[in-house]
A and B are shown apart, each in its own frame.
Chain A
Amino acid sequence: MTIRRNWSRLLPMLLLAGLLVLLFSGCETDTPQNTFDAKGKVAADQRDIFYLAMWPALVVMIGVLGAVLLICLRFRERDPNSLPPKQIHGNTKLEVTWTIAPAILLLIIGVPMVSMIYDLGRAPASDAYIIDVVGQRYSWVFEYPEILDEDGFPVFTTGEAHIPAGREVNFRLRSLDVIHSFWVPKLAGKKDVMPCNILPPVQGEEPNPLDKPDCRGGELNELWMIADEPGTFHGQCAEYCGLNHATMYLSVIADSPDDFAAWEYEMRSGGGGGNEPPSNTPEATGSN
Chain B
Amino acid sequence: MAVAAPQRSALANALRGARLAAEDPKSIWSWLATVDHKRIGVLYGVSSFILFLVGGLEALLIRSQLIVPDGGVLDADQYNRLFTMHGVTMVFMVVMPMSAAFFNLLIPLMIGARDVAFPRLNAFSYWSFLGGAIFINASFFTGDIFSGELGAPDGGWFGYAPLNLPQYTSGHGMDFYALGLQILGLSSLAGGLNFVTTILNMRAPGMTLFRMPVFIWMTLVTSFLIIFAMPVIAVALFELTFDRLFDANFFNPDAGANPLLWQHMFWLFGHPEVYILILPAFGIISEILPVFSRKPLFGYPFVVFSGISIGFMSWGVWVHHMYTTGLGTVANSAFGISTILIAVPTGVKIFNWLGTLWGGSLRLKTPMLFAIGSVAMFTIGGLSGVLHSMVPSDYQQQDSYFVVAHFHYVLFGGSILALMGGIYYWTPKFSGRLLSEKIGQVHFWLMLIGFNLTFFPMHISGLLGMPRRVYTYNEDMGWNLWNMMSSIGAFLIATSVLVFMINFFISIILKKGPLGGNDPWDARTIEWTTTSPPPHYDFAEIPVIHSRDDFWHQKYREDDQGNVLPPVAGAAVDAPTGGHGDAHGEHEGGHGDIHMPSPSYFPLIAALGLPVIAIGLIYDYALIPVGAALLVIGVYGWALEPATEED
Interface residue ranges of A102-155 to B (CB < 8 Å): 102-103, 106-107, 109-110, 113-114, 116-118, 120-121, 137
Q: Which residues of A contact B587 (CB under 8 A)?
A: none
Interface residue ranges of B151-180 to A (CB < 8 Å): 154, 156, 160, 162-163, 168-169
Residue B336 lies at the interface, judged by CB distance under 8 Å to chain A: yes
Residues 207-228 of chain A, each 1 if its beta carbon lies under 8 Å from chain B, else 0: 0000000001111010000000
> Shortest Cβ distance from A10 into chain B, in angstroms?
12
On whether the beta carbons of B478 and A47 are closer than 8 Å, the reply is no
Q: Which one of B97-105, B248-256, B638-646 is at the A interface? A: B248-256
Q: Which residues of A contact B566 (CB under 8 A)?
A: 83
On whether the beta carbons of A191 and B324 are closer than 8 Å, the reply is yes
Q: What are 28 residue pairs bridging A and B, where the CB atoms are less than 8 Å apart in the complex?
A: A15-B448, A43-B396, A50-B396, A65-B380, A68-B375, A75-B358, A75-B359, A85-B293, A85-B295, A85-B564, A86-B562, A88-B359, A89-B298, A89-B300, A94-B355, A99-B348, A102-B343, A106-B340, A110-B340, A114-B333, A177-B168, A181-B399, A189-B394, A189-B398, A197-B254, A217-B259, A242-B80, A245-B80
On whether the beta carbons of A121 and B332 are closer than 8 Å, the reply is yes
Other A-B pairs beyond A242-B168, A243-B76, A245-B80, 4, CB < 8 Å: A31-B478, A75-B362, A89-B562, A246-B76
Residue B341 lies at the interface, judged by CB distance under 8 Å to chain A: yes
A190-B326 in contact given A11-B445, A87-B562, A178-B168 (Cβ < 8 Å): no
Interface residue ranges of B564-586 to A (CB < 8 Å): 564, 566, 573
On whether the beta carbons of A117 and B352 are closer than 8 Å, the reply is no
A245-B256 in contact given A75-B362, A76-B364 (Cβ < 8 Å): no
On whether the beta carbons of A217 and B357 are closer than 8 Å, the reply is no
- CA distance in complex: A118, B351 (Å): 34
> Shortest Cβ distance from A98 into chain B, in angstroms?
4
- Tell me which of A76, A82, A95, A114 contacts B348 (CB under 8 A): A95
Interface residue ranges of A50-67 to B (CB < 8 Å): 50, 52-54, 57, 60-61, 64-65, 67
> Shortest Cβ distance from A26 into chain B, in angstroms?
4
Chain B residue nearest in CB terms to A222:
B326
- Tell me which of A45, A219, A237, A246 contacts B392 (CB under 8 A): A45
On whether the beta carbons of B333 and A53 are closer than 8 Å, the reply is no
- CA distance in complex: A36, B463 (Å): 7
Residue B238 lies at the interface, judged by CB distance under 8 Å to chain A: no
On whether the beta carbons of B258 and A217 are closer than 8 Å, the reply is yes
Q: Which one of B40-48, B137-145, B449-457, B511-519 is at the A interface? A: B449-457
Residue B200 lies at the interface, judged by CB distance under 8 Å to chain A: no
- CA distance in complex: A91, B297 (Å): 11
On whether the beta carbons of A246 and B396 are closer than 8 Å, the reply is no
A195-B162 in contact given A53-B393, A65-B376, A190-B395 (Cβ < 8 Å): yes
Q: Chain B: how many interface residues by the 8 Å CB criterion?
A: 108
A88-B399 in contact given A35-B463, A236-B467 (Cβ < 8 Å): no
On whether the beta carbons of B464 and A29 are closer than 8 Å, the reply is yes
Q: Which residues of B contact A245 (CB under 8 A)?
A: 80, 469-470
Q: Which residues of B contact A246 (CB under 8 A)?
A: 76, 469-473
On whether the beta carbons of B163 and A178 are closer than 8 Å, the reply is yes
- CB-based A-B contact count at 8 angstroms: 318
Residue A203 lies at the interface, judged by CB distance under 8 Å to chain B: no
Interface residue ranges of B376-401 to A (CB < 8 Å): 376, 379-380, 383-384, 386-387, 390-400
Residue A247 lies at the interface, judged by CB distance under 8 Å to chain B: yes
Residue A49 lies at the interface, judged by CB distance under 8 Å to chain B: yes
Residue B561 lies at the interface, judged by CB distance under 8 Å to chain A: yes
> Shortest Cβ distance from B80 into chain A, in angstroms?
7
- Tell me which of B162, B361, B375, B395 contacts A85 (CB under 8 A): B361
Chain A residue nearest in CB terms to B380:
A61
On whether the beta carbons of B156 and A83 are closer than 8 Å, the reply is no
Residue B591 lies at the interface, judged by CB distance under 8 Å to chain A: no
- Tell me which of A22, A181, A236, A244 contacts B324 (CB under 8 A): A181
Q: Which residues of A contact B372 (CB under 8 A)?
A: 68, 72
Q: Which residues of B contact A90 (CB under 8 A)?
A: 298-302, 352, 355
- CA distance in complex: A183, B395 (Å): 9
Residue B294 lies at the interface, judged by CB distance under 8 Å to chain A: yes
Residue A71 lies at the interface, judged by CB distance under 8 Å to chain B: yes
On whether the beta carbons of B392 and A117 are closer than 8 Å, the reply is yes
On whether the beta carbons of B564 and A15 are closer than 8 Å, the reply is no
On whether the beta carbons of A218 and B253 are closer than 8 Å, the reply is yes
Q: Which residues of B contact A60 (CB under 8 A)?
A: 379, 383
Residues 266-310 of chain B, each 1 if its beta carbon lies under 8 Å from chain A, else 0: 000000000000000000000000000111101111100000000
Chain A residue nearest in CB terms to B340:
A106
Q: Which residues of B contact A177 (CB under 8 A)?
A: 162, 168
Q: Which residues of B contact A83 (CB under 8 A)?
A: 564, 566, 573
> Shortest Cβ distance from A6 into chain B, in angstroms?
15
Residue A192 lies at the interface, judged by CB distance under 8 Å to chain B: yes
- Tell me which of A19, A65, A240 contacts B456 (CB under 8 A): A19
Residue A239 lies at the interface, judged by CB distance under 8 Å to chain B: yes
> Shortest Cβ distance from B521 into chain A, in angstroms?
12
Chain B residue nearest in CB terms to A32:
B477
- CA distance in complex: A32, B332 (Å): 29
